[in-house]
Chains A and B, each alone.
Chain A
Amino acid sequence: MTLPCDPPRGGAAARDTGTAPPPSPRAPGGAAGPGRPRRALWLAAALVTVLLVLALVSAGVGAYRIPTADVLASVQHRLGLGGAPLDRVGESVLWNVRLPRVVLAVLVGASLGCAGALMQGVFGNPLAEPGVIGISAGSAVGAVAAIGLGLGFLGNWTVTACAFVAGLFTVGAVYLLSRNGGRTEVVTLILTGIAVNAFAGALIGLFVFFADSGQVNQITFWQLGSLAQATWPKVLAVLPCALAGLIAAPLYARRLDLLALGERPARHLGIDVERLRLALILVVALLTAAAVAVAGVITFVGLLVPHLLRMANGPGHRFLVPGSALAGAVVLAGGDLAARTVAAPAELPLGVLTALIGSPFFFWLLRRTRRRQGGWA
């Protein structure tokens, strides 16, 4: 088992062509090699710190204020590490209202961020995002159908399951409709998104039309996107979906890198592209369904987060995929805190808030992409 190309020849080649051989085999990696992981570690550490701080603040801030020290003491107490419980009201507010909401924000944010990073990789297009291209709306149709038709065949998990099936169907449809020769043009993708969003909107409208007033209230909540009705059973309802997706996603990171070369070159490098594509569509549907089933349609998180991370640490998916999950959690935990406190005692719908901030960003991105490509052709 000899090497396909023995080392002395490499040196000879370099001499022939008049270039000095690199000082060490590691040298060319210098730019991307050792520097990158260290920066990735710093970024991850910073994100975890911010997330913990946000979680602590979110747990304490609200109509019933709980000092941070007391929050920590109560958590310590429940974990059996000393500390002290709060009074009865405080304990109930913290454990039955605040914490499920924080946990849900983290789960939903992580799912959306991660789904965004995966979709951009699969579509080979930095503008792909579950909300923009209609996957969220498609999942929402499933969720709304479950409510509107009063389905309950899986108990607590019914809405999530319906959102997953509808989401899966939508991702598959968008994927088939918008790709051409292994790539997705921006125009085709956005136009497909408009069509899918319109169709999903019509279906949701139909369900609203036939629903009674109680159901209409519930459905409206989905369309705005909110975490206001967070409870532990809701957390449990989406936990399997979200966890399965979040654990599976990083396993595809290396292959997503290769997919950036295009479909054929990826296959030349040993990637079973068909299987990879199917698996990733499944994971994206899982993550989106988890987010939509419990929080409604929250757009632009999946677009914004991977973009910022790519600017900070390059496009390598081994950091980007888990990093987007982490940063998505940070964004949504922060967003929910803002939604609760900015207009207190009233509460802004979270989906409205992310869209307010996300849309201008999307617009800027469109302009930039257009400038780089010199028009849409």
Chain B
Amino acid sequence: MSALRRGRAALFGRRPRTVPARPAPGEVLVRAEDLHVRLGEREVLAGIGLSAYAGEVLALVGPNGAGKSTLLGALAADLPADSGTVYVDGRPVSGWTAPELALRRSVLPQSAALSFPFPVADVVRMGRAPWAGTALADADEESVAAAMAAAEVTGFAGRPFSALSGGERARVALARVLAQRAPLMLLDEPTAALDLRHQELVLRVCRERAAAGDAVVVVLHDLGLAAAYADRVAVLHDGRIAAAGPPSEVFGDGLLSRVYRQPVEVFPHPRTGAPLVVPVRAEAKGEPAGNPCGPRNADGDLTSA
């Protein structure tokens, strides 16, 4: 089977590619150096310096419009840098061809679309396309099955993509990215469309990949998820990195309140000690004693408790 594939690849003039070796733990898989990106008139990224290492989950957080998705797009080589450089696997992204990059990083876009109603299994199998013609193509079926199990989409493998709900589509897209098995995973808001259980599932899968030696860069809105699952977080604010480091060090009341323009409280989880981020709210609702919004009588006066 693989000999046949290789023969076909040679016939169609595909250049044989060298499969990259597995990264050593702690190796830099993607690095941005003084990265500036303009979208139209606006400078969305204004001097970003950031690295992601093999074996870690790096979360990008920040308010709307801070430049999280733009940074991810620049790391994925979707958006050209205005100045500065993005290095993937030690080489500037402009120095790689599309097929070479596909062996080194996978990308989960914010929204999953499909022009034609391919069945779910076929969509996930598309993630294996970069390996066609290489020795690792033999692992295709096994990786597809493992990825579908990990994202919990095995149950609707035969259904057309167009018949799925938003959350199911998001998980199929994730399964496709997992099946690609690139050492660097870039995920743009993978939990946006998901319910509680599947949000946890996705982040757990990220942790597993990191434990296996991959680098996972993930854009998150939920600071609780970031605090619980990321080795490091980078807080973006106005196109710059306001702070980067382990969540327990970075997540402080002052920084988050300023960046999100919303007073927050940060306190350790009573059992795990992971930082919990809660917005400061005026009053909790429905408190029994001394509550000015308590039950009232027919005249609108407060009834005595």
Question: Given A7-B146, A13-B149, do A270 and B118 touch, yes or no (CB 8 Å)?
Answer: no
- A262 cross-chain contacts in B, Cβ below 8 A: 109, 113, 115
| Count of A-B residue pairs with CB < 8 Å | 163
Please name the residue on chain B nearest to A264 by beta carbon.
Answer: B78
Render A23-66 as a binary contact track against B, CB cut-off 8 A, 1 for contact: 00111111111000000000000000000000000000000000
Q: Flag if B145 contacts A22 (CB, 8 Å).
A: yes
A6 within 8 A of B: yes
Max count, chain A CB within 10 A of own CB: residue among B19, B118, B205? B118
Q: Flag if B118 contacts A316 (CB, 8 Å).
A: yes
B129 within 8 A of A: yes
Total contacting residues, chain A, CB less than 8 A: 53
* Cα distance, A21 to B146, chains bound together (Å): 8
A261 within 8 A of B: yes
Question: Given A260-B118, A310-B116, A315-B118, do A29 and B125 touch, yes or no (CB 8 Å)?
Answer: yes
- B178 cross-chain contacts in A, Cβ below 8 A: 5
B208 within 8 A of A: yes
Partner of A270, one of B21, B102, B119, B209: B102
Render A259-292 as a binary contact track against B, CB cut-off 8 A, 1 for contact: 1111011011111110000000000000000000
Q: Flag if A6 contacts B141 (CB, 8 Å).
A: no
Q: Flag if B141 contacts A21 (CB, 8 Å).
A: no
Q: Flag if A268 contacts B145 (CB, 8 Å).
A: no
B158 within 8 A of A: yes
Q: Flag if B118 contacts A28 (CB, 8 Å).
A: no
Please name the residue on chain B nearest to A29 by beta carbon.
Answer: B121
Please name the residue on chain A nearest to B106 by beta carbon.
Answer: A268
Partner of B201, one of A17, A183, A314: A17
- B124 cross-chain contacts in A, Cβ below 8 A: 28
Q: Flag if A4 contacts B214 (CB, 8 Å).
A: yes
* Cα distance, A30 to B119, chains bound together (Å): 11
A251 within 8 A of B: yes
Q: Flag if A22 contacts B116 (CB, 8 Å).
A: no
Render A121-155 as a binary contact track against B, CB cut-off 8 A, 1 for contact: 10011100000000000000000000000000000
Q: Flag if A25 contacts B141 (CB, 8 Å).
A: yes
Max count, chain B CB within 10 A of own CB: residue among A28, A124, A126, A261? A28
B143 within 8 A of A: yes
- A32 cross-chain contacts in B, Cβ below 8 A: 119, 121-122, 157-158
Q: Flag if B107 contacts A31 (CB, 8 Å).
A: no
A371 within 8 A of B: no
Q: Flag if A21 contacts B212 (CB, 8 Å).
A: no
Render B112-146 as a binary contact track against A, CB cut-off 8 A, 1 for contact: 01111111011111110110100110010111111
* Cα distance, A10 to B142, chains bound together (Å): 9
Give the distance to chain B from A6, nearest Cβ to Cβ, in Å: 7
Partner of A6, one of B19, B105, B212: B212
Task: Select the stretch in B179-187, B261-269, B279-287, B291-299 that faces chain A.
Answer: B179-187
- A27 cross-chain contacts in B, Cβ below 8 A: 145, 154, 157
* Cα distance, A31 to B19, chains bound together (Å): 31
* Cα distance, A21 to B155, chains bound together (Å): 11
* Cα distance, A145 to B12, chains bound together (Å): 37
In this complex, the interface size class of chain B, counting residues with CB under 8 Å from chain A, is: 35 or more
B37 within 8 A of A: no
Please name the residue on chain B nearest to A184 by beta carbon.
Answer: B115
- A17 cross-chain contacts in B, Cβ below 8 A: 149-150, 152, 201, 204
A1 within 8 A of B: yes
* Cα distance, A7 to B22, chains bound together (Å): 15
Give the distance to chain B from A110, nearest Cβ to Cβ, in Å: 21
Give the distance to chain A from B158, nearest Cβ to Cβ, in Å: 3
Q: Flag if B103 contacts A5 (CB, 8 Å).
A: no
Q: Flag if A29 contacts B102 (CB, 8 Å).
A: no
- B183 cross-chain contacts in A, Cβ below 8 A: 4
Question: Given A19-B154, A264-B109, do A28 and B212 touch, yes or no (CB 8 Å)?
Answer: no
B192 within 8 A of A: no
Q: Flag if B102 contacts A124 (CB, 8 Å).
A: no
Max count, chain A CB within 10 A of own CB: residue among B98, B107, B118, B132? B98
Max count, chain B CB within 10 A of own CB: residue among A21, A27, A260? A260
Question: Given A1-B21, A257-B126, A269-B130, do A13 and B146 touch, yes or no (CB 8 Å)?
Answer: yes
B7 within 8 A of A: no
Which residues of chain B have a CB within 8 Å of any CB of chain A?
A: 12, 19, 21-22, 76, 78, 97-103, 105-107, 109, 113-119, 121-127, 129-130, 132, 135-136, 139, 141-150, 152, 154-155, 157-159, 178, 180-183, 201, 204-205, 208-209, 212, 214
- In the assembled complex, 30 residue pairs joining A and B whose CB atoms fall closer than 8 Å, in A order, are A3-B143, A4-B183, A5-B212, A9-B212, A10-B145, A10-B150, A14-B146, A16-B204, A17-B150, A19-B152, A21-B149, A28-B154, A29-B141, A30-B157, A183-B115, A251-B12, A260-B114, A261-B114, A262-B109, A262-B113, A268-B76, A269-B102, A269-B129, A270-B101, A270-B129, A272-B98, A273-B98, A314-B118, A315-B117, A315-B118
Closest 5 CB pairs of A and B: A31-B158, A10-B146, A270-B102, A315-B116, A4-B181
Which residues of chain A have a CB within 8 Å of any CB of chain B?
A: 1-7, 9-14, 16-17, 19, 21-22, 25-33, 121, 124-126, 183, 251, 254, 257-262, 264-265, 267-273, 310, 314-316
Q: A4-B181, A10-B149, A267-B78 are in contact. List 13 more A-B contacts (CB 8 A).
A: A1-B19, A12-B208, A17-B201, A28-B121, A28-B154, A32-B121, A260-B118, A268-B106, A269-B129, A270-B129, A272-B98, A272-B99, A314-B119
